[in-house]
Chain A
Amino acid sequence: MDIIEKGTGPIFSDPDPDKARAFFRQKSRIKKDKTMSLSKAVEKFVKDGDYLGIGGFGANRTPVAACHEILRQKKKNLGFAGHTATHDMQILSAGKAYNRIDVAYVVGLEARGLSNCSRKYLESGEVEVSEWTNYALSVRLQAAAMGVPFLPMRSMLGTQTFEKSGAVAAKCPFTDKKMALVPALSPDVSFVHVHEADMYGNARFEGIAVADLELANASKHLVITCERLVSHEVIARDPHRTQIPYFIVDAVCEVPYGGFPGTMPNEYFSDEDHLREWLTKEKDPEAFETFLQDNIYGCGNFQEYIDRNGGIGRMQELRRKEFMINGGDTNDNV
């Protein structure tokens, strides 16, 4: 293939599929009980310097509890796939847990505003950055999931997003058209939050998939956090509903409300008051330090964080908001 131009952005993950295959060759396929506490899973599967993937869409079905635990265990120098990273990135930036990032959407919390903490960290020069698009990161994960070193796509061309990416533009051998080739991305470890999983790791979720299936299949280690553990019988009754098969999963952690303060479809809506509190506290470094101490570092686990922020009563309100029942507050007051 004739290379026409190359982006100057760094590539943080080796796209060689044979290296990935060699890794997967030795990964256990045994159907065993993989349940463990989230702190154990983070301790076991997240190493300083690893490349990290976080599922969901910013503050939607996002494994927030895993991000908290990564901070509590003071993991450092991670690579991070900033794939519509909003609240997840806000947390990881607060702990300066990563030092290199593939950017698709970062720094902002969509219409809620920019995260001061994420912004300052990216502007500090301490973080190595490569630019991409949301679909480009999804396609890069898909390439890794397919066991190929790259895939062609047709966005990014002609822009500085391309120039600052690690993509290559090349001539298609079949049509002579110019394509952007994007390298496979295989995170060392990823976290995906789901509704239900059995103890082996068979997992299923409701609502949109975002890029979680690509992410799950691309990742070397995969930790599932779930709202509920269910028996294998429940899974086996409806195997067509299983989206993530057990053999790619390393650990299963039951974390009720593990996506709070984000939305978990058909469970609870986002806590906009609490997300606003995050954005406000970030503006004052001292207040933010105390806030992090109260909400993350000073909590033994995620349930303590939930309890600090309204506990089961608040969760019930957010559940009513999700289902728009009992006149529960709606987005109108956001």
Chain B
Amino acid sequence: MTTYNEMEMMIVTAARELENGATVGVGTGAPCAAAMLAQKTISPDLVIMFEAGGISPDLPEMPISVGDSRTFYHASMAGSMGTIMSSCARGFVDYTFLGGAQIDMYGNLNSTAIGPYDSPKVRLPGSGGANDFASFCWKMMVMTPQDKRRFVEKLDFLTTPGWLEGGDSRKNSGLPANAGPHKIITNMAVMDFEPDSKRMRVISLNPGYSFDQVQENCGFELLRLKTLPVTPAPTDDELAILRDQVDPGRVVIGR
């Protein structure tokens, strides 16, 4: 079997989550690569949407910006932010991939500030469309390196909603019902959220990693399934398509 790197592993794992006919709101980078790979493998009818207005493009290469010309190249529609976000708000969008500087055990994200909000150590971009996507899309996913500084007990700022404080807190918040964080995909493991507490739970380990290693690289206590399967490694076909067709310039997957 071909060797692969951790970014390739994460992209392949994410791509397998996107079933044919689904809709997904993506940004640039790894999530875009995952959506493109899904389209070229299991989900030819996957609908890719970019928040600035691009709907279902035939992406010729990785976009640099979620609003550049590539995001509506040979697309079904060059719409607007309103077209995309109102579709999400109406319940038309199944998945989204988001990221952030910090994530907590309920899948809430911080992309606003590191340090105190009023005198931040680093001012970050803010919500952008992340809060909207996470509020509206049925299943929110995150692809991120497993790192103690990212997986924190308490966010410096809660920019984007996950399961908020867990339990029924999201349900009671006024956010659309039955939408929320779905899977967290890291270089070491795949997590979901335990249905009652809504706490992050390890459901599979990537080849070569133990649960203890995942826990050591996480700033809060993780739940786990009793028996942890190994996340299936990328197949030769998936790797070939990812390297030759999705990201031939190795912008995202590296060299």
Contacts and interface: CB of A to CB of B under 8 A. Distances in A.
Interface of A: 56-61, 82, 84, 86, 103-108, 110-112, 114, 119, 122-123, 125, 131-136, 138-139, 142, 153-161, 164, 169, 177-180, 206-214, 263, 265-266, 269-270, 272, 322, 324, 330-334
Given A84-B128, A155-B135, A179-B174, A330 B61 contact: yes
A310 B212 CA distance: 55
B170 interface: yes
Given A135-B85, A154-B136, A331 B125 contact: no
A138 B83 CA distance: 11
B123 interface: yes
B29 A208 contact: no
A331 B65 contact: no
Interface residues of B, number: 61
A321 to B, nearest CB: 10
A289 B212 CA distance: 51
A107 B51 CA distance: 18
A134 B126 CA distance: 10
A298 B159 CA distance: 40
Contacts of B131: 133, 155-156, 159, 161
A131 B126 contact: yes
A244 to B, nearest CB: 13
Contact of B127 (A153, A161, A272): A161
B20 interface: no
A177 B127 contact: no
Q: Give 10 nearest A-B pairs by CB, closest first.
A: A332-B249, A178-B174, A208-B53, A57-B67, A158-B173, A105-B128, A155-B135, A209-B80, A135-B85, A135-B132
Q: Which of B64, B82, B248 has the most CB of A within 10 A?
A: B64
Interface stretch (B70-78, B142-150, B188-196, B227-235): B70-78
B220 interface: no
B64 A155 contact: no
B176 interface: yes
B239 interface: no
Given A158-B170, A158-B175, A123 B123 contact: yes
A269 B78 CA distance: 17
Nearest to B29: A111
Contact of B79 (A57, A161, A209): A209
B19 to A, nearest CB: 25
Given A159-B159, A269-B69, A111 B64 contact: yes
B69 A207 contact: yes
B125 A105 contact: yes
B44 interface: no
Interface of B: 28-29, 51-54, 60-72, 78-82, 85, 89, 108, 112, 117, 119-120, 122-132, 134-136, 157-161, 164, 169-170, 173-176, 248-251
B52 A84 contact: yes
Contacts of A211: 80-82
A209 to B, nearest CB: 4
B164 A158 contact: yes
Contacts of A332: 61, 248-251
Prevailing SS type, chain B contact patch? loop
Given A153-B89, A160-B117, A131 B127 contact: yes
A309 B210 CA distance: 53
Nearest to A136: B132
Contacts of B169: 158
Nearest to A108: B125
Nearest to A211: B81
Contacts of B250: 332
A177 B176 CA distance: 10
B53 A210 contact: yes
Given A57-B52, A208-B67, 18 more contacts: A60-B68, A82-B126, A84-B67, A84-B128, A106-B125, A111-B29, A112-B64, A123-B123, A132-B127, A155-B132, A157-B173, A158-B175, A161-B158, A208-B52, A209-B79, A214-B82, A263-B65, A330-B61
A322 B119 CA distance: 41
B214 to A, nearest CB: 27
Nearest to A169: B174
A129 to B, nearest CB: 9
Given A142-B82, A159-B161, A154 B174 contact: yes
Q: Which of A103, A105, A333 has the most CB of B within 10 A?
A: A105
Contacts of B29: 111
B50 to A, nearest CB: 8
B188 to A, nearest CB: 24
B122 to A, nearest CB: 7
A332 B62 CA distance: 8
